[in-house]
Amino acid sequence: MLAHARVNWLILKTSIEERLIYRGDFAFATLVRFLPIVTLVYLWGAIYRVGIDSPRGEMNGYTYENMVVYYLLVMVGRAFSSMPGLASGIARDVRDGTIKKYLTQPVDMLGYLFWARVAHKLVYYVVAIGPFALVFWLCRAYLPDWPDTFTTVAFFSSLALGFLFGFLLEALLGLVAFWFLEVSSLLFIYMMFNYFLSGHMIPLDWLGEFGVWVQYLPFKYLAYFPAAIVLGKFTHAELVRELTIEFAWVVCLLIANRVAFARGVRRYGAFGG
């Protein structure tokens, strides 16, 4: 157990050192990623007809200020749940035989990728805190009052669970490569559905009756759910229920990943050095 913990710590430490080499890229990419918010501020301003002589209305339970804050919070949620390159990296390792290094060495592939991704996110958060703070400060007039302690804890819990959910979902998609030679089309389809069903495009509340069914899907935990918590869309009882459901999804995905990896390895064949 102690040896296993030391291995994990070594993976985390080494990965952090590797990621710190690109700290400037992290900061610049984060700042650039917020540039679409400028467009969204003007876009939703036009939709709500915000002006000096026009009142700010409400659409589907969202004011203009709510919409700006929603997209800011969605970006925070996506900073935790998005796993760029994870699924495609696993698929590439399976396809070109690189995955053999996990099969011939006493290192669990999923465990290694998890701690490497934790390192990636830690460095990203530390470096990106400046751009995040700047953008939120510039939009401070739109921000609502900070919620109560229970809701705050639920918000940060949703971010942590969102990270686990996003990692396990992307890893499972990557493991499909054990059965299919090319999964790029599958990943493209997944990204399209993810962008819409997670609430990244528009709040799920705006989808009417269809949105009610969409919220039964787990994709909302990737973006919509953390933002909706801060905007007060859930009662305390609903937060407990939703976090419990999200945790259950994480457990199911963890089991699915372990089963898929074990069965995939049994049918896997690689040749050469």
Per 3-state DSSP, the chain is made up of helix, strand and coil in percentages (nearest 5) of 75, 0, 20
pLDDT of residue 24: 74
Q: How far apart are CA 97 and CA 268, in angstroms?
A: 10
pLDDT exceeding 70 applies to what percent of the chain? Answer: 93
On average, the pLDDT of the chain sits at 85
pLDDT band at 159 (very low <50, low <70, confident <90, very high): very high
pLDDT of residue 84: 86
Q: How far apart are CA 220 and CA 213, in angstroms?
A: 11
What phi and psi, each to the nearest 5 degrees, are found at residue 70?
Answer: -55, -50
- β partners of residue 62: 59
At how many degrees (to 10) do helices 86-96 and 109-138 cross? 150
pLDDT of residue 80: 92
> HSE-up of 32 (CA within 13 Å, CB side)?
6
What's the whole-number mean pLDDT along residues 220-229?
Answer: 94
* Weakest-pLDDT range from 5-9, 47-51, 236-240: 47-51
Task: Dig out the tokens for 59 from the structure.
Answer: 């659409």
What's the whole-number mean pLDDT along residues 220-243?
Answer: 94
pLDDT band at 107 (very low <50, low <70, confident <90, very high): confident
Name the strand (E) or helix (H) holding 23: helix 23-33
Q: How far apart are CA 174 and CA 235, in angstroms?
A: 36
